Amino acid sequence: MAADTSSKNKRDEIEEDYDPYLHRNLTHPNQSLETLGHLIKGIIGTGILALPEAFKLAGMITGIISTILIGLLSTYCLRILVRSQYILCKRKRVGLLTYPETMEYACEVGPKFFQRCVPYAGGITNFFLVTFQVGTCCVYVVFIAVNIKFVGDQYTDPHIAYAYYVLMFFIPLLAIMMVKNLKYFAPFSHFANFVTLLTIAVCGYYVFRDLPPFSSRPAFGKFSDYFLYFGTSLFSLQSVVVVTSAENNMENPRHFLTPFGVLNVGMFIVVSVVIYFAATGYWKYGEDIKPSITLNFPPPDIAAQSIRILYSLAIFITFGLQGIPAVYIIQNDYIIPHLGEHATERKKKVYDYGLRITLVVLSGIFGLCVGTYTSIYNIVQELIIKYSTKSILDD
């Protein structure tokens, strides 16, 4: 017992001598305000447009309370993740651990059962991270094309085919994926956040006209529908990869977990926006709310068209924030180690550009397949991400 205590004290003493934050070698670190912008824009995506319908499933009071609790739970879990990553970095005496490396080392120093998972922890984590990020990029392509087509159909006769809208955005998406560092996304993230807030403000123009009595909306929904609400809400409030990437690229990472730090302030803003958007949308349209609230607005109205264009622009900017982490994971954890001593700078650049192009191509192919063979509504309903409609793609 005395030996164990002595060993623990010695380990704690060694850990106290090492500060991982002082050993991060970042070429282009982000300021706290830049990181806050990335965090907000990375989390607020297409899912927010589905939340008014999610509130219809949960009920007004249940939806508001549950969204607050989900936001608190998400924030708490993210704090545990970032804090655990810091502690493991101290133990391993390295400046930075990736998310998969954190999982591997956590299993390594954990209970015996989890120690058996060490060989698989990193690969499994990478698989789900890459799948989620690439899947999000695919959904974003469809979202952009569907909304721009919706506006375009008001001015073109005959209507331009959906596939042409997907192809139209191939080069712009490729260009934004060529941005090498998250720091360069900072002005775009702030612009996208401004566009998102402007979109919400314009939505208020429709929502707050002729509001019905608040008591006319059910306070509680069916228990059987709650889980669909929960999945949609959790999707709208969570983005582990964006959060960990943002923290890993901070110039002053100590500001991330402070009481009024980046994470708490960012999640407070996100949860507040989500509750405002979802509650007011459901309050206005009730049982008539569509899978995406923008579909409730009159198509010919200029304000309604501007909402679709502006939010599509914000999602277009977010495409890069969602895609770059997947590129980094594949390149750093698989391609470069596989190349070994042959990993010259030229080869790294070739594979880097190749991965970025491949991601955009895959997203475009997905968008074309969805537009040709089925409806975006059915696809995202299976993923518990309901935000669009079938009628748009049937034109």
Which tens digits make up the pLDDT trace of 51-86? 888 898 899 999 999 999 999 999 999 999 899 999
**DSSP letter string, 17-48:** T--GGGG---SSPBPHHHHHHHHHHHHSSGGG
pLDDT of 291 higher than 90: no
Q: Which of 381, 380, 386, 190 is nearest to 278 (CA)?
A: 386
When pLDDT is cut at 50, 70 and 90, the band that residue 28 belongs to is confident
The span from the CA of 360 to the CA of 245, in Å, is 20
Residue 140 belongs to a domain? yes
pLDDT at 383: 45
Q: How many domains does the chain have?
A: 1
Task: Judge whether 21 lies within some domain.
Answer: no
| Domain assignment present for 39 | yes
Q: What is the mean pLDDT of residues 216-238?
A: 84
Residue 245 resides in a domain: yes
Cα 281 to the center of its chain, rounded Å: 22
More confident residue, 380 or 131: 131
Query: Rounded CA gap, 30 and 361, in Å?
Result: 29
Domain assignment present for 12: no
Is the torsion defined by CA of 384, 357, 103, 182 positive or negative? negative
6 located within any domain: no
Residue 76 maps to which CATH number?
A: 1.10.4160.10
pLDDT recorded at residue 40 = 84
Distance CA 96, CA 83 (A): 12
pLDDT digits (tens, 9 = 90+) for 240-287: 777 888 888 888 888 898 989 999 999 999 999 889 888 998 998 888
Q: What is the mean pLDDT of the chain?
A: 81
What confidence score (pLDDT) does residue 42 get?
75
Residue 324's beta-bridge partner residues?
A: none
Judge whether 357 lies within some domain. yes
Domain that holds residue 238: 27-393
Q: Are 274 and 72 in contact (CB under 8 A)?
A: no
The pLDDT of residue 372: 42
- What is the per-residue pLDDT for 371? 53
- What is the per-residue pLDDT across 178-219, written as a single tens digit (0 to 9) for each? 887 766 777 777 787 788 778 778 888 888 888 888 888 888
Identify whether 5 is part of a domain: no
pLDDT tens per residue across span 114-125:
888 888 888 898
